Amino acid sequence: MATLKILVVDDEPGIRAGVERILRNFKVDFPFMDEMYDFAVLEAETGERGIEIIESEKPDIVLLDNKLPGIQGVEVLEYVRGKKYDIVVVMITSYASLELAVKATHDGAYDFIPKPFTPQELKSSLENISKQLYLKRMTRKMKNEGKQVRFQFLSVLSHELKAPLNAVEGYLGIMKERQLGLNFDDYNEVIERSLKRLSGMRNLIMDLLDLTKIESGKANQKIEHCDLVNIARGSIDIMMPYAIQKDVEISLNAPEKLMKYVDPDEIEIIFNNLISNAIKYNKDGGTVEIDIYEDTSAKKTTLCVSDTGIGIKEEDKERLFGDFVRIKTAETKNIAGSGLGLSIVKKIVELNKGEITVGSVPDKGSVFTVILPI
Ligand X SMILES: Nc1ncnc2c1ncn2[C@@H]1O[C@H](COP(=O)(O)OP(=O)(O)OP(=O)(O)O)[C@@H](O)[C@H]1O
Binding site for Mg ion (CB under 5 A): 277, 341
**What is the per-residue DSSP string for 199-244?**
HHHHHHHHHHHHHHHHHT-GGG---EEEEHHHHHHHHHHHHHHHHH
Contacting residue, 307, 349, 352, 356, with ligand X by CB under 6 A: 307
Contacting residue, 326, 352, 370, 374, with ligand X by CB under 6 A: 326
Give Rg (Cα) of the chain.
Answer: 31
Q: Is 50 in the site for ligand X (CB under 6 A)?
A: no
Phi, psi values for residue 200, rounded to 5°: -60, -40
Q: Which is nearer to ligand X, 97 or 277 (CB)?
A: 277
Q: Which is nearer to ligand X, 46 or 332 (CB)?
A: 332
CA-based nearest residue to 73, from 37, 38, 57, 49: 49
Q: How many residues sit close enough to ligand X to count as binding (CB under 6 A)?
A: 24
What is the nearest approach in angstroms of ligand X to the Cβ of residue 369? 12
Q: Which is nearer to ligand X, 97 or 282 (CB)?
A: 282
From Mg ion, ligand X, none, interface partner of 194 (C-beta below 5 to 8 A by class): none
Q: Which is nearer to ligand X, 88 or 312 (CB)?
A: 312
From Mg ion, ligand X, none, interface partner of 349 (C-beta below 5 to 8 A by class): none
CA-based nearest residue to 255, from 290, 281, 283, 219: 290
CA-based nearest residue to 10, from 82, 105, 99, 117: 117
Strands (E) across 78-207 are located at: 88-94, 111-115
- List C-alpha distances in Å: 365 to 12, 15, 51, 196, 277: 75, 73, 63, 27, 11
CA-CA distance, 265 to 3, in Å (whole number)? 51
**Window 145-184: contact mask with ligand X (x via CB under 6 A):** ----------------------------------------
Phi, psi values for residue 249, rounded to 5°: -100, 135
What is the nearest approach in angstroms of Mg ion to the Cβ of residue 224? 26
Range 235-274, binding ligand X (CB under 6 A): 273
Q: Which is nearer to Mg ion, 115 or 326 (CB)?
A: 326
Q: Which is nearer to Mg ion, 194 or 366 (CB)?
A: 366
Residues at the interface with ligand X (CB under 6 A)? 203, 207, 273, 277-278, 281, 307, 309-312, 320, 325-327, 332, 337-343, 366
